[in-house]
Amino acid sequence: MSALGIDGVTVEDTFAEAFGMRATRLIITAANPGWARHAATTATGFATSVIACGCEAGIETILSPRETPDGRPGVSILLFAMSSKDLQKQLERRAGQCVLTCPTTAAYGGIAEDSAQDWLGLGRSLRYFGDGFQISKLIGGKRFWRIPVMDGEFVCEEKIGLVKGIGGGNFLILAKDQQAALAAAERAVAAMHKVPNVILPFPGGVVRSGSKVGSKYKALLASTNDAYCPTLVGLTRSSLPAGVGAVLEIVIDGLDAESIRLAMREGIQAACARGGERGVVAITAGNYGGKLGPHHFHLREVLA
Amino acid sequence: MKPLTLRLKTKPPCLVDAAALRPRALAGKPREDILRIALQGWNQSFAVGDLFTVSGEDAGRVVLEGLDGSLIRVGAELDAGELTVSGHAGDYAGEAMRAGTLIVRGQAGDYLGAEMRGGAITVSGNCGAFAGSGRAGAMKGMSGGSIVVRGSAGDRAGDRMRRGLMLVEGSVGSYCAARMLAGTIVALGHVGLQPGYLMRRGTIVLADARFEPLPTFNDNGRHELLAIRLLLESLAQYGPAFRRLARQRLFARWVGDLGAEGKGEILVAAA
């Protein structure tokens, strides 16, 4: 494969392969930014991969009071699942256990009505916690539920919009050692957090355990991506160029392809900035030969 | 194009049903046909041409001028377009309307917006009793849409109201929201006796603290409620008086009517 380079870093001419998912945006507000953040962090916890978490979720952006429906500080989170049914289940559980429970919070849909391709119940399910004391209120054409809780009322929209999103956009940072890979990944994540409509669902936005489909063990759907493990060089068919001592992956889920493309560009450029002197060797991407996922993000096109 | 304008030239000898003068019903009709439309009175009918002079072309915006209360059911069953009335809109204005806009520049009689399901009614002056209620014997009053009264509303405003929004800039009479099933009534002026009598659910917001609760309402304390803030902020579009109320944070809350389901609330702006 031919390659292009940025600041001394080789960018492989390959592509990231991504899949269609169902997605939604939840706006969480609270009396102050800290409590909004607590709720958002908890609601998006244990949501790195649909392989075992049920959904992929993350904080999209921090919202100022001017940007939220109730004029309070807020956080926007995105949730992705493989089906509408799965997403509904995860939304109910996460909003019910992590947002409803969090002091002073309220929850609103973040997908514009005209963009929504379907609807997910929010207050429609959570209202039953009110044990008959819940009150619905139609405000500005939207139905809200007021659920009595010990600090007052938990307010949430009855339903929130669902859209078709994309999960699994990715790129891999190949560096001379762990420290260089980590620094490059941190630069990339910081840059990508500024892009709207995307989340990086893994811890700190970074994955060290990139996976391949399948395993020698029948029970496992995925297993370690041995081709990119530096400690398996010489034991397996390695894809690592000489001099690579550590690889980190950044996975991107987004509401649309263009946002993923933009996030990948920002991330790759940040990772590669003075990358040659900082120990970054190459950038590549994970795919399955193009046969599984309908969305292909070619690194060359992304960076064009 | 100028709005299709019907100016009352002859006062009918009895009340006349004007529900036929809806924008959608008049759309596409030639002038001669409009003049021949029959409007039913108690025991006789009147042609539009007998009662009105007609001018203008745009049937999407119909104007009824010079009304004196002798027409009833003006804008009843309105389902699209804009109907503007100047003068006295009479009883049952906007009854059972589903969509569109009814603008009354003047007064409205009893049963304004009775059993309406959608659309918007604005009255610049006062309206009579039973605004947003059900007709006699009906189980439910208005179940959608909005009624904005810039003046005062009479007794029984929102009687058996099921859903929707009623805003009154002036005072409201006695038995406001009696037997209310759900919905929202906001009054900036004084409220009469027995507000919320047998209300089951729903919200009454009162800007004027001169309010005497029924004994079947319990004091729920003072609260700063996010949902009420959202509600009041959504009313800012209805003018400066409602924008001022939207700045109010603390409300004394009364819950009832405990003689009915007891899930209603009366919120009184607290000092």
Looking at residue A3, its pLDDT comes to 58
Q: DSSP secondary structure string, A5-58?
A: EETTEEEES-EEEEEEEEEEEEEEE-SSHHHHHHHHHHHTTT-S-TTTSSSEEE
pLDDT: is A104 or B261 the higher one? A104
C-alpha distance from residue B23 to each of A121, A237, B37, B112 (Å): 38, 76, 13, 19
φ, ψ of residue A76 in degrees (nearest 5): -100, 125
Report which of A5, A95, A20, A25 is spatially closest to residue A50, judged by C-alpha positions: A20
| Strand segments (E) across B113-226 | 120-123, 143-149, 163-168, 184-187, 203-206, 218-223
Q: Which residues in chain B have Cβ-Cβ distances shorter than 8 Å to A133?
A: 263
Q: Give the span between the Cα atoms of B161 and B141, in whole angstroms.
A: 4
Closest CB to A144: pick one of B182, B230, B265. B230
Looking at residue A148, its pLDDT comes to 98
Q: How far is CA A286 from the centre of its chain?
A: 16
SS3 B185: strand
Q: pLDDT band for position A288 (50/70/90)?
A: confident
User: Cβ atoms within 10 A of the Cβ of B126, count?
Assistant: 20
> Å from B117 to nearest chain A CA?
13
Q: Give the span between the Cα atoms of B201 and A188, in whole angstroms.
A: 53
Q: DSSP secondary structure string, A61-120?
A: EEE-GGGSTTSS-EEEEEEEESSHHHHHHHHHHHIIIIITTSTT-EEEE-S-TTT-SEEE
> Å from B48 to nearest chain A CA?
37
Q: Give the span between the Cα atoms of B94 and B133, in whole angstroms.
A: 12
Asked if A196 contacts A247 with a C-beta cutoff of 8 angstroms, the reply is no
Looking at residue A189, its pLDDT comes to 98
Q: Which residues in chain A have Cβ-Cβ distances shorter than 8 Å to B227?
A: 135, 137, 139, 144, 146, 153, 155
Q: How far is CA A232 from the centre of its chain?
A: 29
Report which of A9, A15, A6, A1 is spatially closest to residue A300, judged by C-alpha positions: A15
**Residues belonging to chain A with any Cβ–Cβ distance to chain B shorter than 8 Å:** 69-71, 106, 133, 135-140, 144, 146, 152-153, 155
Mean pLDDT of A289-301: 88
Report which of A3, A9, A2 is spatially closest to residue A267, judged by C-alpha positions: A9
Q: Give the pLDDT confidence of A228-282 residue by residue, as tens digits.
A: 999 999 999 999 999 999 999 999 999 999 999 999 999 999 999 998 899 999 9
Least trusted range by pLDDT, from A56-70, A79-93, A104-118, A208-222:
A208-222
| Domain residue extents for chain B | 1-62, 73-269
C-alpha distance from residue A215 to each of A51, A267, A302 (Å): 13, 30, 31
Q: Give the span between the Cα atoms of A4 and A299, in whole angstroms.
A: 10
Looking at residue A290, its pLDDT comes to 79
Q: Give the span between the Cα atoms of B14 and A104, in whole angstroms.
A: 60
Which tokens in the block code for residue B196? 């919320």
Looking at residue A291, its pLDDT comes to 76
| Nearest chain A residue (CA) to B221 | A152
Looking at residue A6, its pLDDT comes to 86
% of chain A at pLDDT higher than 90: 90
Q: How far is CA A114 from the centre of its chain?
A: 23
SS3 content of chain B, % helix, strand, coil (to 5): 10, 35, 55
Mean pLDDT of A31-60: 96
**Pairing state between β B71-72 and B38-40:** unpaired
Looking at residue B147, its pLDDT comes to 98
Residue A293, pLDDT > 70, answer: yes
DSSP conformational letter for B81: S
Which tokens in the block code for residue B34? 């409009």
Mean pLDDT of A2-22: 88
Asked if B269 contacts B206 with a C-beta cutoff of 8 angstroms, the reply is yes
Q: Give the span between the Cα atoms of B9 and B4, in whole angstroms.
A: 16
DSSP H or E run through A272:
helix A257-272
Report which of B122, B155, B107, B115 is spatially closest to residue B137, judged by C-alpha positions: B115
Which tokens in the block code for residue B250? 């603390």
Q: Give the pLDDT confidence of B210-255 residue by residue, as tens digits.
A: 989 999 999 999 999 999 999 999 999 999 999 999 999 999 999 9
Say if the Cβ atoms of A155 and B201 lie within 8 Å. Answer: no
C-alpha distance from residue B143 to each of B134, B146, B154, B168, B204 (Å): 10, 10, 19, 18, 16
| Nearest chain A residue (CA) to B237 | A140
CATH of span B73-269:
2.160.20.60
One digit per residue, the tens of pLDDT, for chain B of length 271 reads 899 999 999 999 999 999 999 999 999 999 999 999 999 999 899 999 999 999 998 999 999 999 999 999 999 999 999 999 999 999 999 999 999 999 999 999 999 999 999 999 999 999 999 999 999 999 999 999 999 999 999 999 999 999 999 999 999 999 999 999 999 999 999 999 999 999 999 999 999 999 899 999 999 999 999 999 999 999 999 999 999 999 999 999 999 999 999 999 999 999 7
Mean pLDDT of A223-231: 95
Residue A169, pLDDT > 70, answer: yes
ipTM of the complex: 0.92
> Å from A198 to nearest chain B CA?
28
Task: Give A110's strand partners.
Answer: none
Closest CB to B163: pick one of A106, A138, A146. A138
Structural domains for chain A? 3-18+166-303 (3.30.70.520), 21-163 (3.30.70.520)
> Å from A27 to nearest chain B CA?
15
Residue A1, pLDDT > 50, answer: no
Which tokens in the block code for residue A5? 């380079």
Give Cβ neighbours of residue A234 (< 8 Å, ≥ 6 apart).
none
Q: Which residues in chain A have Cβ-Cβ distances shorter than 8 Å to B231?
A: 137, 139
Supply the mean pLDDT for chain B.
96
Looking at residue A213, its pLDDT comes to 85
